[in-house]
Amino acid sequence: MSSRRMKTIAGSLVAASFSAVVILSGTAGADDRDTGSSKGGKVIDEAPAGVELTTLLPEKISVDNSSGTTDITATVKNEGTKESGKIQLLVVGFDGLTVKNVEGCSAIDKSNLPEGSNSGFACALDNLPAGESKSYAVDATYDLKKAGKICLPVQSGDGKKTYWQQGPVPFGTTNPSPDAPATPLLLGTDNKPVAPGADELPKTGLGRDALPLGAAGAALIAVGAAGLWWSQPRRPRRAQEG
């Protein structure tokens, strides 16, 4: 076989191998993509014609058992046919889940947080084109001795209307693992804290299990009927626009 023919065959094999790598890499990337979930979401106020706003949260997060820290991605989407105009996404924590920071967003003053919440950030968007989405990196902590919930309302730019609200929806586990480096939590699952230690009283009778029916939980129950954000006399101030 001539050296020229051997070079041609070798070149063809290299090209074929390269093509296979590109195809396999592209397929793996598509399969690994986490599109998130809108579980616990609902339309509240009617959005402008052609605008359809929703939010997404990861199906699974992981809490570091030593520090209690976790990372969450909050996404707002416009699934309509027209651009949204000015809107704002709120990221609010409840109970054991505390929102520490949301990249590019402004903290909501404690006096403007809804009843029962412990933290929140407002993310202003000048416009979200049709078919596009915007994701935010959320830094949070989770007290695994408690239940934890997160809420993502999408409001008009002035905060007078809430077009969509996801939650308050829980992250939790029915199988806590205190001895592991991290505890995986699933969206839409009520957290079952690890059994109490020797220095804790077991939860019996009208103890902590009754709290969701008290004052702190009233806002959560109201979500199922009249909603949470639009019933508040004070609304979170929108982040200063540039």
Q: Could you tell me the pLDDT band of residue 196, with boundaries at 50, 70 and 90?
A: low
Q: How many residues does this entry show for the chain?
A: 242
Give CA–CA dist 39/31, Å, rounded: 21
Which pTM does this prediction carry? 0.70
pLDDT of residue 26: 31
What are the structural domains, with CATH classification, of the chain? Answer: 41-195+218-231 (2.60.40.290)
Cis check: omega of the bond before 168, within 30 degrees of 0: yes
For CA atoms 98, 115, 103, 131, the dihedral sign is positive
Residue 231 has pLDDT above 90, yes or no: no
Residue 82 has pLDDT above 90, yes or no: yes
Residue 14 has pLDDT above 70, yes or no: no
Least reliable range by pLDDT among 4-8, 39-43, 44-48: 4-8
pLDDT of residue 195: 61
Residue 203 has pLDDT above 50, yes or no: no
CA atoms within 13 A on the CB side of 29: 6
115-150 residue pLDDT tens: 899 999 999 999 999 999 999 999 999 999 999 999
Residue 106 has pLDDT above 80, yes or no: yes
pLDDT of residue 205: 33
Q: How many CB atoms lie within 10 A of CB 45?
A: 15
